[in-house]
Amino acid sequence: MLPFGRMRVTGAARVALSNARRGFAKFSQHGDHFALVLEPVHADMPIVARTLAADAPPGEAPEGISLRVRPNDLARICDREGYSSGALQRLRQDAVATGQDLAAFLWALLERDHLSIPAFRARLFKLISYTSAHYIPHPVRLDDHRVALTFLAPGREGSGSPTVVPVRVRTGDPPLMTMAEAWRRKPNDTQLAYFAACLLGGMHGIGLRDLFDSLGGEEALAARLRATLDVEHQQELSRFLEMTGLEHATYWQHFGAPTHSLRRSGLQDFLKAAATNGAAAG
């Protein structure tokens, strides 16, 4: 399945995120599972993304993929994430009126509110009379002084409107959960498939050791994940290229060879553990 349909991505890279942590916390609108969310470690500081070269070694910071997309593709992503694409278009129009692109415009608003996320979201709501209980666009400062967008799932800090209660609050506002903790609350096939989808990012070299560590000794869950990934990971690269429209040469330039990506992310070691465990059991 292509989660956002086919897009025309004009640029892609791995990024390392400073002042950010990730875990499972928001009940998904697309199935009976908890979704992976991102949040700042220090709420009064920005999330900053550092672009990584294809041969950069993994570090301790959470990693992800940045994609440069066209406005209509961003609109589709918004709709899937539960934030109205029409609302985003109204924000873009306000940005154009100030001579800025959308991400830079949102960054300027966040700075105007002294990096206060509740104040920033309240300002967005005041501008367009809309907010979301699911995800809200948030500016991320890039290391080359540009600005990108991510989506944060609101929690106790609010959605920007007192009448729009975040999904995380409705479901008890759990703190960021590890894989093991989320699995204990949702031990079902949907959660398993979602975990596997997250770990398939390792095919593109995204550092995943924090997620592997969060399995917390759940060997039965790890074994089921390996079985799923062993089947799925061989199709991941072709699906990613189909979804993004990237050429093989462009992909290799920014991500390197798939064999390198497997090693870098920790996914290769995780998959190999199945054979090691099997030999030890024998």
pLDDT in tens, 133-189: 999 999 999 998 899 999 999 999 999 999 999 999 999 988 899 999 999 999 999
pLDDT in tens, 212-271: 999 988 999 999 999 999 988 889 999 999 999 999 999 999 999 999 999 999 999 999
**In the sheet that 48-52 helps form, which strands lie side by side, from edge to edge?**
63-68, 11-18, 48-52, 136-142, 147-152
CA 171/CA 12 separation, integer angstroms: 34
Give the rounded percent of residues in the chain with a pLDDT score beyond 90.
Answer: 87
pLDDT given at position 280? 43
Token couple for 99: 């001579």
pLDDT at position 4 over 80: no
pLDDT given at position 136? 97
Nearest to 185 by CA among 194, 199, 174, 198: 174
pLDDT at position 123 over 70: yes
- Cα angle: 139, vertex 140, 141; to 5 degrees: 120
pLDDT given at position 26? 94
How many other C-beta atoms lie within 10 A of the C-beta of residue 272? Answer: 12
Q: Where are the domains of the chain?
A: 11-170, 179-276
Strand spans (E) along the chain:
11-18, 20-27, 34-40, 48-52, 63-68, 136-142, 147-152
CA 248/CA 10 separation, integer angstroms: 13
pLDDT in tens, 26-59: 999 999 999 999 999 999 999 999 999 999 999 9
pLDDT given at position 279? 43
pLDDT in tens, 69-89: 999 999 999 999 999 999 999
Cα dist from 150 to 185, 201, 267, whole Å:
27, 17, 24
- DSSP notation for 205-221: T---HHHHHTTTT-HHH
pTM of the model: 0.91
pLDDT given at position 173? 84
